[in-house]
Amino acid sequence: MFTFAAAVLSFAGLCASGGASVDDVYAGDLPNAPGKRLSVVTVTYPPGAKSAPHRHDAFVFAYVLSGRVRSRVDDGPVREYAAGQSWTETPNALHAVSENASATEPATFLVVFVAEPGAALSAPAR
């Protein structure tokens, strides 16, 4: 059985390769959306850290808690998000850029995934 812990470890491994840390916050089934699961993590990028290009088998809502995060989804522009700003990603969109926009300050953001139970939260881009 694929568990939330396994999904977080998969996502954490991808992020850790670029210096980020991932902490699980919550996971649970959505009673009003049968077959969907809500998973929530925080990602912290040390100064200058980034993740390799990747995809999520989930709808993603990301909200910056502190610092600034630079992101590019699919063929969209590179955007910079400050604390209090957010973005979304459709399932399997290419998250081509995900990085701390600062070389001196850490950045932390909350990531909410809505996916089928057992879905991989993150996988390297191919």
User: Which residues form the domain of 82?
Assistant: 4-124
Beta-carbon contacts of 83 under 8 Å, excluding residues fewer than 6 positions away, are 64, 65, 66, 67, 68
* Phi then psi dihedrals of residue 88, to 5 deg: -125, 160
Radius of gyration of the chain (CA): 14
CA 53 – CA 20 distance, rounded (Å): 14
Closest C-alpha to 4, from 33, 43, 42, 37: 37
Query: What CATH number is attached to the domain comprising 57?
Result: 2.60.120.10
Cα dihedral across residues 17, 18, 21, 27: positive or negative: negative
Q: What is the pLDDT of residue 71?
A: 98
Closest C-alpha to 45, from 77, 68, 61, 74: 68
Into how many domains does the chain fold?
Answer: 1
By DSSP bridging, strand 37-45 and strand 107-115 are: antiparallel
Q: Tell me the pLDDT band of 126, cut-offs 50, 70 and 90.
A: confident
* 6-19 pLDDT per residue, tens: 444 455 544 555 78
Using an 8 Å Cβ cutoff, are 22 and 43 in contact? Answer: yes
* 68-87 pLDDT per residue, tens: 999 999 999 999 999 999 99
Using an 8 Å Cβ cutoff, are 41 and 106 in contact? Answer: no
Q: What is the pLDDT of residue 2?
A: 39
Q: Tell me the pLDDT band of 66, cut-offs 50, 70 and 90.
A: very high
